[in-house]
Amino acid sequence: MQLVAQILRSLFDLAMSLMGFLGMRGSRWEWKKSQWKMSLESRLASWEMTERGVRAKVRMCRHCRELVDRSLATCPACGASMRDVPRGGAGRLFAAVLPQFSSLTAILITANVFILAIQLIIWGADPQPHGLFGILSPPWQAQFLFGAKWPGTILELHQYWRVVTAGFLHGGILHLAFNGYALSILGPLIEESFGWRKFLFIYLASDIGSFAVSTLFSPRSSSVGASGAIFGLLGFGVIFARFRAGPRGRAVSDQLMRWILPGVLMLFLPGIDNAAHAGGFACGALLALVVAPGEPRNTRERRIWAVLTALSLVILIGAFVAMLVEYPANVDLLRR
């Protein structure tokens, strides 16, 4: 890396000398040259830090700050998991070179955007949108086929996968924008404090709980949206901060309580699935009483969360696979 940096600096100096020979002088050009040099040095410093990370034989535990051999999965000093601490070697190099999502929250938002885009590409927008929230809204046929919570389909046709897929559908671009904004704020708050595995479990459980409650208490209404899962994150944050995070946590809980006011106002708006919101909030609140913060610290906890993470992924992926498998049969139902 030092040889590459030296060659690049020499080439830069040669280019600057050539520019000066061609008459590119003066305060304006000298300011530009200094900016280019600063940019080059910043990029070289970043590459050198990446090289050091690749060659490093140890990594630092986030809990006790102990330097741990990069091959170990747990910290020998405190027993904390080292899974989310970047390793050295080829893994560190690939992480630096390959593009990747910054968080599970970003992946969830991207998935919601992608599914709405696919619906609009295949079915187009609803030719008769209902009000402002109907802008770029998929027609009801698309919502039905892609897994909306629909009257009779869950309890009578036993399409239970809809309690998962409904949480990834939206009734239009504004519906998606509001939920995406809320998820972008609440998601990182939970994910950074509890880790992506626990965040995935909380989000998916709240999604399922919200539409399960909606199915039981509003079986004759259709609904879609991530708001049930988002209310689950809100309920989780409020209860955990209030009862399990000490005095500072109560201050956070008071801040989160402000998010409940829009939920109360939604009770009086037509077309809002209040049962799903209540079910998601209750599910998140219950999980807040049992889920501990941070990554698993011992072998037993790691095994439990490995199983729960695998189960969450199987349920999530399986629900969309079931949607695709039953897509032709649901098309036939529409034709009847």
User: Which residue is catalytic, options 137, 214, 223, 227?
Assistant: 227
Give the amino acid at 168.
F
pLDDT at 59: 77
pLDDT at 324: 96
What percent of the chain stands above pLDDT 70? 85
Selected residue with higher pLDDT from 328 and 68: 328
Q: How far is CA 94 from CA 43, 71, 90, 255, in A?
A: 17, 17, 6, 39
Question: What residues contact 208, with CB distance under 8 A and at least 6 apart?
Answer: 163, 164, 283, 315
**Pairing mode, if any, of strands 58-60 and 67-69?**
antiparallel
The lowest-confidence range among 113-122, 127-136, 177-186, 263-272 is: 263-272
CA dist 238 and 253 (Å) reads 5
**pLDDT tens figures, 219-237:** 889 999 999 999 999 999 9
> 115-144: string of b/e by CB count within 10 Å (b at 16+)?
bbeebbeebebbeeeeeeebebbbbeebbb
Active site residue 130: no
Strand partners, 58: 69
pLDDT band at residue 98 using 50, 70 and 90 as cut-offs? very low
Residue 99 scores a pLDDT above 60: no
CA dist 252 and 205 (Å) reads 23
The lowest-confidence range among 172-176, 201-205, 316-320 is: 172-176
Please write down the HEC assignment for all residues of the chain: CHHHHHHHHHHHHHHHHHHHHCCCCCHHHHHHHHHHHHHHHHHHHHHHHHHHHHHCCEEECCCCCCEEECCCCECCCCCCECCCCCCCHHHHHHHHHCCCCCCHHHHHHHHHHHHHHHHHHHHCCCCCCCCHHHCCCCCHHHHHHCCCECCCCCCCCCCCCHHHHHHHCCCCHHHHHHHHHHHHHHHHHHHHHHCHHHHHHHHHHHHHHHHHHHHHHCCCCCECCCHHHHHHHHHHHHHHHHHCCHHHHHHHHHHHHCCHHHHHHHCCCCCCCHHHHHHHHHHHHHHHCCCCCCCCCCHHHHHHHHHHHHHHHHHHHHHHHHHHHCHHHHHHHHHC
Question: What residues contact 207, with CB distance under 8 A and at least 6 apart?
Answer: 163, 164, 167, 226, 228, 229, 232, 280
- For tokens 């809320």, what's the residue? 182
Active site residue 227: yes
pLDDT band at residue 6 using 50, 70 and 90 as cut-offs? confident
pLDDT at 208: 97
Find which of 119-133, 162-176, 181-195 is predicted with most confidence, using mean pLDDT. 162-176
**pLDDT tens figures, 247-295:** 777 777 777 777 676 666 665 566 688 899 999 999 999 999 999 887 7
When the pLDDT of each residue in the chain is averaged and rounded to a whole number, the result is 84
**Can you read off the two tokens belonging to residue 21?**
């020979």
pLDDT at 36: 83
Cα–Cα nearest to 141, from 152, 125, 155: 125
Question: Would the pTM count as exceeding 0.75?
Answer: no
Residue 89 scores a pLDDT above 70: no
**pLDDT tens figures, 28-85:** 778 888 888 888 888 778 767 766 666 677 777 777 778 878 777 777 877 766 666 7
User: Which residue is catalytic, options 206, 214, 223, 277?
Assistant: 277
Torsion of the alpha carbons at 96, 98, 99 and 101, rounded to the nearest 10 = -70
Cα–Cα nearest to 237, from 182, 309, 165, 305: 182
pLDDT at 206: 97
Q: Calculate mean pLDDT across residues 92-118.
A: 76
pLDDT at 263: 63
pLDDT at 100: 46
CA dist 51 and 60 (Å) reads 17
Structural domains of the chain sorted by starting position, each given as residue range(s) with its CATH number in brackets? 104-335 (1.20.1540.10)
pLDDT at 264: 63
**pLDDT tens figures, 284-309:** 999 999 998 877 778 888 899 999 99
pLDDT at 67: 80
pLDDT at 101: 47
Residue 109 scores a pLDDT above 70: yes
What percent of the chain stands above pLDDT 90? 45
